[in-house]
């Protein structure tokens, strides 16, 4: 491929950003003096600074606006405007500043000077919604780069791990058919992805992402505890104020301590001057690894617990996982590594020696191989009587930039009597197109639209459009032809598959898929399950029994042998002919109620 056509992998992270490119058989990451570029923008004194210089102005570990400085403008995407020291700022423009800073840095390096760097494969967190993805793409375009394809950060890390190993096809064969977990714990987010390797294809089985336990939360906890211990040791009350800019230096020292205590047993956190005091101005606290565990141990336990929850919700145990690939800056903490070893055993945990750059390098390999994303699981419509109609099948290639996939369906409303057409979009827990009717399903979205309540079954027609756009977001739009009722839903948490070189599409035929999702959880306690009243064909057996009785009284003539489920539905809404109580009233002991007949049947069989 010509140099000006090289697609670069770009990891625009919550706290740090970097770019990588594959040259020959090696991924090269562009680092600033061995460090990633902070995702920070400063507007101090009307002067715009980005990256390391802006990061040095931070005073706290939190994300967002801090005085004249903005840490992680990505977290602000979706807001129309943000005030920075009273000045309106556009979050998209702030993101553009960071992206352009990284781009200019790459172009100024020896390896990058020959790149055009106008095409990128960009990574995104698992839980990033559609609006924020679209705004991120816009920011890339404003910075002179086109996003050829988005890819989830953990999936990119796994792809890079398998492709960059010595003898690239050996690990792919070794893990074929196995369940792999990517544990990506960075400065802003914790992302988890369960995948299977199936004949060279990486198939996402389940995803989870959260911003509640990112590395920045650790820094903030350390900062507060260090200051607390310092005041206690020197007998300083809360009335002793802190010098301007001192908290900024303490934050940097706490970040340094978190890194150093991954390599050694103790570290001194020292800031002088810190307090506005003539006699005791310095802050000095000696921290040990045990101190670190006491301070942030609850955050580590909370993050690692999410692994067990994800596995349990999808019917797996830790013993099912053949490999836990740990990436992100947080996995260098001994406490995190020890907890992973306890869960999976040291032999199954691999901590990437280049964990900070693993995502960017994975994106670079995806770009180099021109690997395209495919849908890993069917997107289905639940129909009346709990049957399922595939809307988009697993294996469908996802659109790249300026493309989309669109399908249209015409449906019938089986029971319009309540004036509502009810949709339930679901996805099987099982990957691949070959899904069984009784497989577990995950609810993706529910939609309700207005229909003609006076219409007979199947007379009110429903139209449904399904579109997957370049940002990997599915939009469902439905409308009724008579009442012109409308409903819309967006789904951004789909699962995908990536093909490594040499894959021949055998994943859709693999028998391994038939073993997934056994024992998986379908609904959590308290979830509301909506009964669909739609169908893709006219069949009176799909109509609820009480509705059929109203429109066709002779349907329940025993000589016609109506389906038992419809008979029970009809009888359920009929009062007892003797005591006149509702059919489900426990005080009804008559043989005419459904429950009474059930009890009588149980007695006779006994």
Q: What is the pLDDT of residues 91-132, one digit of tens each?
A: 999 999 999 999 999 999 999 998 999 999 999 998 899 999
Question: 604 pLDDT exceeds 80?
Answer: no
| 322, 408: one domain | no
Phi-psi region of 31 (alpha: psi -120 to 50; beta: other; left: phi over 0): beta
Q: Is residue 239 part of a domain?
A: no
When pLDDT is averaged across residues 48-71 and rounded to a whole number, the result is: 81
Question: 487 pLDDT exceeds 90?
Answer: yes
| Pairwise pLDDT comparison (16 vs 511), residue with the higher score | 16
> Predicted confidence band at 399 (pLDDT cuts at 50, 70, 90)?
very high
pLDDT, tens only, 4-36: 589 999 999 888 899 999 998 889 999 988 889
| 345, 436: one domain | no
| 329, 417: one domain | no
Buried residues in 132-149 as b, exposed as e (16+ CB within 10 A): bbbbbbebbeebebebbb
Cα–Cα distance measured from residue 19 to residue 290, given in angstroms and rounded to the nearest whole number? 35
Handedness of CA 547, 552, 557, 561 (dihedral sign): negative
Identify the pLDDT of residue 59: 67
| 524, 600: one domain | no
| 147, 201: one domain | yes
Mean pLDDT (the chain, rounded)? 86
> Rounded to two decimals, what is the model's pTM?
0.85
Out of 322, 344, 369, a domain closes at 369
Q: What is the CATH number of the domain that holds 191?
A: 3.30.420.40
Out of 502, 535, 568, a domain closes at 535
Q: In what order do the strands lie in the sheet with 349-351?
A: 349-351, 321-327, 179-185, 190-198, 201-210, 496-499, 373-375
| 92, 190: one domain | yes
Identify the pLDDT of residue 596: 53
Residue range(s) defining the domain that contains residue 564: 544-605
Q: Write the burial class of residue 585 (CB in 10 Å: 0-12 exposed, 13-18 middle, 19+ buried).
A: middle
| 343, 355: one domain | yes
576: helix, strand or coil: coil
Identify the pLDDT of residue 40: 92
pLDDT, tens only, 184-216: 887 777 889 999 988 888 999 999 888 888 777
Q: Is residue 573 part of a domain?
A: yes
Q: Would you state the torsion angle of the CA atoms of residues 237, 238, 241, 243, taken in this order, to the nearest 10 degrees?
A: 90
Phi-psi region of 85 (alpha: psi -120 to 50; beta: other; left: phi over 0): left
Percent pLDDT > 90 in the chain is 47
Number of alpha carbons in the 13 Å side-chain half-sphere of residue 461? 4
Percent pLDDT > 70 in the chain is 90
Q: Is residue 22 part of a domain?
A: yes
Identify the pLDDT of residue 300: 87
Number of domains the chain contains:
3
Question: 501 pLDDT exceeds 50?
Answer: yes
| Phi, psi (rounded to 5 degrees) for 600 | -65, -40
When pLDDT is averaged across residues 335-354 and rounded to a whole number, the result is: 88
Identify the pLDDT of residue 209: 84
Residue 1: count of CB within 10 angstroms of its CB: 9
pLDDT, tens only, 541-572: 999 998 999 889 899 998 999 999 988 888 88
Cα–Cα distance measured from residue 100 to residue 106, given in angstroms and rounded to the nearest whole number? 10
Cα–Cα distance measured from residue 194 to residue 183, given in angstroms and rounded to the nearest whole number? 9
Identify the pLDDT of residue 523: 53
Number of alpha carbons in the 13 Å side-chain half-sphere of residue 429? 22
pLDDT, tens only, 418-461: 999 998 999 998 888 888 888 889 899 999 999 999 999 999 99
Q: Write the burial class of residue 356 (CB in 10 Å: 0-12 exposed, 13-18 middle, 19+ buried).
A: buried
Question: 356 pLDDT exceeds 90?
Answer: no
> Predicted confidence band at 606 (pLDDT cuts at 50, 70, 90)?
very low
| Phi, psi (rounded to 5 degrees) for 227 | -65, -40
| 71, 184: one domain | yes
- Whether omega before 273 lies within 30 degrees of 0, making that bond cis, reads yes
| 362, 508: one domain | no
When pLDDT is averaged across residues 61-84 and rounded to a whole number, the result is: 84
Q: Would you state the torsion angle of the CA atoms of residues 374, 492, 414, 410, taken in this order, to the nearest 10 degrees?
A: -50
Out of 535, 554, 583, a domain closes at 535
225 closest CA partner among 281, 306, 331, 299: 299
443 closest CA partner among 364, 522, 376: 522
Long-range contact list for 78-81, CB < 8 A, 24+ apart? 78/129, 78/131, 78/132, 78/135
Cα–Cα distance measured from residue 255 to residue 217, given in angstroms and rounded to the nearest whole number? 11
Question: 166 pLDDT exceeds 70?
Answer: no
pLDDT, tens only, 573-592: 777 777 877 767 777 777 55
| Pairwise pLDDT comparison (256 vs 597), residue with the higher score | 256
| 203, 72: one domain | yes
Q: Is residue 7 part of a domain?
A: yes
| 497, 358: one domain | no
Q: Is residue 283 part of a domain?
A: no
401: helix, strand or coil: coil
| 563, 524: one domain | no
Q: What is the CATH number of the domain that holds 459?
A: 2.60.34.10
Residue 108: count of CB within 10 angstroms of its CB: 10
pLDDT, tens only, 319-340: 999 999 998 878 878 888 889 9
Q: Write the burial class of residue 171 (CB in 10 Å: 0-12 exposed, 13-18 middle, 19+ buried).
A: middle
Q: Are 478 and 447 in contact (CB under 8 A)?
A: yes
Q: Is residue 47 part of a domain?
A: yes
Identify the pLDDT of residue 603: 43
Q: Is residue 243 part of a domain?
A: no
454: helix, strand or coil: coil
Q: Is residue 219 part of a domain?
A: no
CA distances from 153 to 270, 356, 370, 373 (A): 36, 12, 17, 13
């Amino acid at each position: 491929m010509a140099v000006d056509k090289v697609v670069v992998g770009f990891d625009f992270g919550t706290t740090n950003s970097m770019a990588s490119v594959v040259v020959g058989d090696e991924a090269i990451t562009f680092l600033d003096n061995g460090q990633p570029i902070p995702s920070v923008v400063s507007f101090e004194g009307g002067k715009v600074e980005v990256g390391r210089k802006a990061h040095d102005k931070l005073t706290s570990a939190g994300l967002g606006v801090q005085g004249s400085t903005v840490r992680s403008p990505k977290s602000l995407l979706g807001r129309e405007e943000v005030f920075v020291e009273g000045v309106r700022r556009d979050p998209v423009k702030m993101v553009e500043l960071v992206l352009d800073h990284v781009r200019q840095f790459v172009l100024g390096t020896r390896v990058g000077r020959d790149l055009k760097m106008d095409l990128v494969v960009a990574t995104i967190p698992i839980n990033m919604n559609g609006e924020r993805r679209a705004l991120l793409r816009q920011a890339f375009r404003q910075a002179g780069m086109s996003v050829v394809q988005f890819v989830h950060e953990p999936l990119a890390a796994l792809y890079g791990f398998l492709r960059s190993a010595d003898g690239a096809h050996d690990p792919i064969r070794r893990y074929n058919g196995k369940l792999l977990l990517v544990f990506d714990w960075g400065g802003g987010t914790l992302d988890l992805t369960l995948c299977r390797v199936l004949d060279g294809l990486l198939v996402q089985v389940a995803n989870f992402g959260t911003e509640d336990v990112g590395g920045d939360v650790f820094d903030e906890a350390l900062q507060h505890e260090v200051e607390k211990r310092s005041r206690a040791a020197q007998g300083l009350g809360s009335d002793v104020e802190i010098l301007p800019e001192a908290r900024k230096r303490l934050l940097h020292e706490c970040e340094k301590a978190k890194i150093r205590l991954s390599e050694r047993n103790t570290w001194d956190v020292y800031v002088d001057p810190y307090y506005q005091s003539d006699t005791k101005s310095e802050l000095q606290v000696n921290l040990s690894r045990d101190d670190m565990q006491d301070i942030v141990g609850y955050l580590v336990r909370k993050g690692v617990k999410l692994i067990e929850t994800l596995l349990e919700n999808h019917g797996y145990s830790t013993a099912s996982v053949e490999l836990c690939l740990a990436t992100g800056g947080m996995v260098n903490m001994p406490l995190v590594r020890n907890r992973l070893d306890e869960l999976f055993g040291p032999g199954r945990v691999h901590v990437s020696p280049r964990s900070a750059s693993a995502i960017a390098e994975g994106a670079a390999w995806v770009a180099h191989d021109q690997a395209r994303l495919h849908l890993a699981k069917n997107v289905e419509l639940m129909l009346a009587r709990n049957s399922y109609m595939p809307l988009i099948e697993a294996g469908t290639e996802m659109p790249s930039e300026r493309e989309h996939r669109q399908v249209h369906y015409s449906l019938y409303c089986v029971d319009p009597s309540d004036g509502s057409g009810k949709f339930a979009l679901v996805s099987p827990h099982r990957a691949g197109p070959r899904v069984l009717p009784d497989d577990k399903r995950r609810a993706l979205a529910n939609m309700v639209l207005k229909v003609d309540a006076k219409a007979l079954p199947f007379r009110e027609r429903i139209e449904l459009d399904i579109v997957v756009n370049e940002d990997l977001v599915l939009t469902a739009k439905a409308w009724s032809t008579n009442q012109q009722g409308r409903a819309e839903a967006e789904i951004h948490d789909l699962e995908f598959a990536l093909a490594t070189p040499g894959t021949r599409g055998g994943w859709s035929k693999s028998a391994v898929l038939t073993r997934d999702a056994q024992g998986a959880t379908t609904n959590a306690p308290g979830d509301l399950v909506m009964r669909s009243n739609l169908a893709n064909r006219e069949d009176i057996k799909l109509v609820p029994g009480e509705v059929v009785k109203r429109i066709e009284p002779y349907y329940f003539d025993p000589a016609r042998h109506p389906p038992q489920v419809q008979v029970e539905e009809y009888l359920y809404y009929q009062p007892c002919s003797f005591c006149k109580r509702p059919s489900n009233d426990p005080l009804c002991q008559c043989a005419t109620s459904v429950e009474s007949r059930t009890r009588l049947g149980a007695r006779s069989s006994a």
